[in-house]
Every structure is written in C-alpha cells, then in structure tokens.
Amino acid sequence: MVIENNQLLGHTLGTCTIQSLLGRGGMGAVFLAQQSRPRRTVAVKVLLPGLILEKRVRAEFLARFRREADAIAALDHINIMPIYEYGEEDELAYLVMPNVTGGTLREAMEKRGRFPLSETVPIIEQAAAALDYAHAQGIIHRDLKPGNILFHADGRLVLADFGLAKILNETSEADHEITSGFTSAGAIIGTPEYFSPEQSTGNPVDKRTDVYSLGIVLYQMLGGRVPFTGPTAVSIAVKHSIEEPAPLSELNADISHSIEAVVMKALAKKPSQRYNSAGELARALRAATPPNVFSSQTPQIAHEVRPEPTTPMVLASNDTILEVPAISSHEAPTMSMRTVAPRTPPLWEKSFSPAPAHVSPQDAKRGGCQPLWMMLLGGTLALLLIIGGAATYLHFLSGNSAVQTSTLSGTITPTSQAGQQLPTALLPVGELLYGVHLPACDAQQTLWSKSTNAMVSCGTSATELFNTSSSYLAGTFLDKFPNGYGIPDDYVLEVQVSEGSNSQGGFGVFFRNQPGLIHQGTFSFLVFPRGRWETSVYNDHTGKRTLLFGDQVTTPLDGLITIDIVVHGSRFTFYLNGHKQGEASSSFYPSGTIGLAADTGADVFFRNLAIYALPK
C-alpha cells in the first residue's frame, strides 16, 4: 500500500507537501506536511478507503466525503480540531488540520494509567463542550476515543475526526463488498472498545451515542482500563450490548459511590437511561466531585496556562476562599468558608515546557557572558527604546481626545475584543472603557476568575455559565482591565444574557465585589424566572445578605435580555431591555470588581459585556 511504503513522502496534496508519517489508524494515516499558502506546518489526514476500494465504491465514498466534509469543516469551537482545507487528488481524500503537538489522551493514559479526578473533570468538561456544540450543528462524532482527544500547546483539549466514521459507515451500507475490503486491509470502522450498544447492534444512533463513548473514556481515565475487551471486534461489541461493566470502585478505591453512579448512568444500555447530553454528564461529574479534590498541592511547572481562582471573588495568596450562599427570598443566609491549597496543574500544564535555551560550549566556558561591545550596544539600544517610548506616550497624551476615567490605580483606556462589534448601548453612556463579545473567554480569559461551583464554557456566540451547586451562587469575575488597572468606581455596565432550555434559577451580575483575604462582600442584581428582580448586599464581615430592593419586572423577558446597571456613587439604577426597573442606595462599598452571576439551577449564556464611563 502507498501509506505502508511511505510513497506519499515528498508528494503534494493541494497546497501541502508531505514530509513524514505521524501515525496510522483505522480510518487513515496522518502526515506532517508543509503548507505553501499560507506557509505553515500542518497535519494532513489521508483517508484510507480512498486507496483500497474498488473504483465504483470509491466514487460513492468520495461523494459522501465531499458532502460531509463541508459540515465538518464548518465546526467552529475552541475544543474542536479545525479543518484548514480538504480535497481529493489522485483518488485520495484528505483533510488539512493544525499540527497539534501535545500528544493524545491515549498516549498519556498508556504512560500514566489512571488519572486523578482533579485532571479528569476538566478534560471531560472540555470534551463535553465540544460534543454539545457539534450535536447542536447536527453532527455526531461516532468514534470518540482517547486517540481522538488531543492536547494543544496552549493548554486546551481538542477533539478530532468528527463525522468521519459516518462517511465510512454510510458507504459501507451502500455496498456490502466494502466490509471485506476494510477487514482485509486491517481497518475497522470505529473502535469497538468505545462502541455504544446501538452501534454494536446496528440500531439508529443519536447524540447519546457520544455520551456513552465519553462515559467509556471517563471509566478508563478513573479505572485504568476500558470496561470491555475481547479477542475480536464482534466479541467486544456483544459485551457492550449484554454485559455490565465491573464496578469502578473495584478498580479504584478512591472513587466514591456518587462518582461511580455518574459513570454508570453514562454507560446505560438504553440511550433513554443515559444523560441527555454530554454537558449534562460533565455537570453531574463536577457536582459529584468533592471540592477538596481540586486543592491538592503540587508544584507549578513551566507552560502554565493560568491557575483558575476557585473563589467567587479574587483568590488571595493565602488560599482562603468563601462561597456566596444562594439568595433566598425569606432570609439572609451567612457565608460558608473553607481553606484550600493551590490546585494540581492539569495534564496539559505538566506535558509542555519550553525547550531550554541553547548555550554553545564556548559560552558555557565563559559562564554565558557576552562580549563588552555587545553589552554596550544592547545598553544603547535599550536607552533609545526608552526615550522613544516616552516620546510616543507624551504625543499620545497630547493628541488623544478619548475620555479617560481616573481610578485609584491609574487611568483606564478603552478596549474591546478584536474582530467583534459590540451592539449600540441602550442607555446614554460615555466612553467605552472595556468591551468583550465572549466574557471570560478567548484572549481576555486571564482577566477573569470564577467560583468553584461555576462551570464556564466558551461557545462561538456566547459564554455559558452553569451553577453546579445546590446551595451557593456561582460567578465569574472580571478582576482587572487589560492594562492592569482596576475597575472604576462609577460606570454603566451592560451585558446580554439568555436562559438555557433547562435553566431554573436566577441570573444577573455582581458589582462592587470585594476582592482580598476575605471575600464575603458584594452587591448583586438578579432576575428570577418567576419575573422578579432583587438587589442585595453581602456584609464583608459577617457574610449576611441584606435585601436592598426587589420588585416585579416591567418588561417581557423572553429570549435575549439586556441588563444595564448605572453605578454612580452610592446610588444604583437598574434596567432590563432599556426599561428602568428601579433604584437602590447603599454606601457600604465605594468600589470593587464586577462579575456575572448564576443562582442555583441556572444555566445561562452571557455575551457582549461592556463597561462605559458615565455620560457627561
């Protein structure tokens, strides 16, 4: 075969010149290649059936490939492998993708065996976010397994090979002769260890097939092995249909019954008895995981993405955190408090470290010292850069007419997320101080922190905030502006929010939130499904909630809702969809940060957050 003999090396497919073989699988082979337009290193997946099928069936396969590749390439999610290019050449079907260098989950599990919950949960959450997005686009993966779960160098997880199993299976159904062709070539459509029972029996599949396969991955990560093995693909498929997996707690004594129950529900034989979505599985896993699982102390190593603060406010260095109790209409509950150590860095933070700088033997003998003339030249260049930067800064100050708002730590200049146009503000406002299309996501993610019970998922059009707790408010918090300065004291805050189909809790914003050693103080504005809004303040010393004001909303809340809060001194004015709802006054906190809030049972989507200066 061409792939076996590496005869593609040096050949060109589309804009890519094949350089070396990276690996082979049941559905094709992956090559390292150099793309000419734009010039970059990529991975090219050549689909195996394009090389081995007889001519008539190969034409059927290529027709299906063209149709399905359009849908696969349209997937746009941070946790899904993007498709740069696809095509056919010399009767080969190929896909061009980024060259992801972090390895696969399969490789990691082969080296490490079982995974701790602290690393397993975020991996499952990211995979679930990718699956939910693809399912919303009508695409089922059908071959989810650790080999298709890759780690990007920037720390995130990406899923690959969406929909490829469907192309092969549909072609197989069109002509039964293909089955023997695949078998003789040593290829299998799908991976039997991760098959769902309905795949094994040939019954129709839906998104719950991927939920089952994700459950198998979860079982393997926690238990160290897959639940079913056998000498042939058929024997393994039969076990998926009729046998029950060994209890996970027998493979890992550290697994609680609540975690085991989550995994076993994902592995139910009947799709109707599983979780309805991958995201539902991930949320159940997070809720069943004890909070202290994420608090084991492990040294931080190179290539750290960002420690996620586990507090609804800014987590201090002493690692004491508070969780804000969910609002009750009848009482002012107190805060709960617990102490945690720094989190265990997840797998991708451990797997990537920058290569050491190269030092020549001559420099090593000299102790790495540079010649004197190079030091003088470097000093001169640094001085010129400082002088030039100062001149540019002074020129900017003299020529810039944009409004700048004074804060305790400096001035704030307008910023917004690149490539996104924020909607026109519904209220009279001053200068834009900060704007972001997807709060807590993308390039500005490092500016935000979140509470332990907040599950934040980044989509293409909104940021999902889901509350995994049954007792506490969840939140994600803007700690500072990109220039490092704090949130101003007075401003107009505007954000759009919509409720998920299963959301049953209140949602809204925190403002003048109190970061620091003890995080009990904040103002909140929440809107509840029953059509009531409330604003409250939490005492920074006692943690008790005081209801400042509440009333029924005066505008319909169906679909996308725009929340506006005008914060001016000790007076706060609240708007929904541009309609004033009421006011409240409190001088309890003169300053603080802002955040997005989700009450218990809430699953909401935020977008287009903007902070403006007050109008003149």
Radius of gyration of the chain (CA): 27
Contact 425, 434 (CB under 8 A): no
Q: Phi and psi of 561, rounded to 5°?
A: -115, 135
Q: How many CB atoms lie within 10 A of CB 105?
A: 23
Measured in whole angstroms, how far is the alpha carbon of residue 95 from the centre of its chain? 24
- Asked if residue 277 lies in contact with residue 132, where contact means CB atoms within 8 angstroms, the answer is yes
Contacts of 596 (CB under 8 A, 6+ apart): 439, 440, 463, 465, 475, 476, 477, 495, 497, 508, 509, 510, 606, 609
Q: For residue 457, give the H/E element and its range.
A: strand 454-458
CA pair distance 232, 245, nearest whole angstrom: 18
**Whole-Å CA distances, 83 to 51, 70, 438:** 21, 10, 23
For 78-82, the CB contacts below 8 A with 24+ separation are 78/156, 78/441, 78/458, 79/126, 79/127, 79/129, 79/130, 79/133, 79/156, 79/157, 79/158, 79/159, 80/130, 80/133, 80/134, 80/158, 80/159, 80/162, 81/150, 81/158, 81/159, 81/160, 81/161, 81/162
Number of C-beta neighbours around residue 126 at 10 A: 22
Residue 599 falls in the annotated catalytic set: no
Rounded to an integer, what distance in angstroms lies between the CA atom of residue 485 and that of residue 569? Answer: 19
Q: Do 93 and 122 touch, CB atoms closer than 8 A?
A: no
Both ends of the chain: CA-CA distance in Å? Answer: 74
Cβ atoms of residues 600 and 489 within 8 Å: no
What phi, psi does 550 have (nearest 5°)? -160, 150
Helix (H) or strand (E) holding 198: helix 197-201
Which residue in the list 132, 143, 161, 599 is annotated as catalytic?
A: 143
Q: How far is CA 10 from CA 2, 17, 25, 37, 96, in A?
A: 13, 6, 21, 17, 16
Largest Cα–Cα separation, the chain: 79
The residue type at 34 = Q
Nearest to 488 by CA among 512, 508, 510, 524: 512
Q: Which residues are catalytic?
A: 143
